[in-house]
A = this chain, B = another copy of it.
Amino acid sequence: MPDRHTLAETEQATRERVQHLPLDFAASHALLSLYRAANAVRGHLTNNVLRPHDLTWTGFLVLWTLWIWDSMETRDIAESVGISKGTLTGVAKTLASRELIERIPSTADRRLVNLKLSPAGVELMEEIYPEFNKTESRIVGDLDARELDTMTSALRTLVETSEQS
C-alpha cells in the first residue's frame, strides 16, 4: 500500500488522531468529501469538455446562466454563479472580447449593466451543453435515482444553511 490515502483511510486515521477530542466526525468527513468531489468534477469537466473549446469553468457558468435566463444584471449573475462582482467584471470582459456576450447599459438606472448572450454565444452553448451534460450524466451514472435525489436535496440544504450568515 503506497502512501496514497483514500477517503476511507483518511477517515480512519482522523479518528485515531483526534480520538480524545469531542468531535463531529460525520460532519467533517461529509464536508471533506464534498470539497473533494466538487474539485474532481470541476477538473474533469474543465479538462475534457471546456478546454477544447477554450472556455474557463467560470466563463462557462456565466454563459450558461445567461443562456438560461436570457438577460441579467451583473450583480445577479455574480451571485448566481457564486463569484464576486469584481471577478465577474474580468470574466465578462473576456467573454465580450470574444463576442460571446453583449453589454447592455440600462437606460432606467445608469449604474446598471445587463449582459446578454450574442447569437454566437447561443450557438456555442447549443453546441457545447449537450456534450457537457453527457459528461455530467456519465459522472453521476454510478448513483441510483434515490441516492442522486437525496444527495441533491442535501446539497441544497447545505447551500441555504451556509449562505445565510
Contact status of A30 and B159, CB under 8 A, knowing A68-B13, A130-B21: no
Q: Is the CB of B151 within 8 A of A139?
A: no
Q: Is the CB of A158 within 8 A of B40?
A: yes
* Interface SS majority for chain A: helix
**Complex Cα–Cα for A68 and B3 (A):** 13
Tally of this chain's copies: 2
Number of A interface residues in the complex (CB < 8 A): 74
Give A9's nearest chain B residue, CB to CB.
B69
Partner of A18, one of B31, B43, B129: B129
**Complex Cα–Cα for A147 and B149 (A):** 10
**A54 CB–B CB distance under 8 Å:** no
